[in-house]
Amino acid sequence: MATSLKNLSAYDPASVPDCSEFKFGIVVSEWNESITSALAQGCVDTLVKHGAKIENIRLHTVPGSFELPLGGQFLLDSSDTDAVILIGCVIQGETRHFDFICQAVAQGCMELGMKYNKPSVFGLLTTNNLQQAIDRSGGIHGNKGDEAALTAIKMVHLKRKLK
């Protein structure tokens, strides 16, 4: 569904499982920092709102969005994290760079989850312009960081439920 038809931060809190026993890793791109820091804050706030202990949330930065999957791998290799959330923002420019970065991060995110059998959440904004990024990082369309946190919680819960 198009974001313009749905607020990324709108959801039924009763539908979200308690995550007080879950451990989360968040990898945040430093590129477009004003956007990614707002996304990361939304992510952390939502995790805490649903019971995550601050000491069970590990937040690390990487230089750019291309480095997000490898940062996630480093985090999963070095901890007992239940899920990793990749937070970044790529804004369309004049060259095809946008396409290559977005595709690489999406593929890397999927491969990370499959390799570790743990949720790897794609929290990458892929926008046409800065205003769209602002609108999706706490603006009129909510915060993609909230959505990424909810996805991580629900996926860890599903994995534990199926064990």
List the structure tokens of 24: 């989360």
Closest CA to 84 of 46, 66, 54, 58: 58
State whether the Cα torsion 160-24-111-122 is positive or negative. positive
Residues carrying an active site annotation: 97
Cβ neighbors of 69 (< 8 A, separation 6 or more) are 86, 104, 105, 108, 109, 111, 112, 120
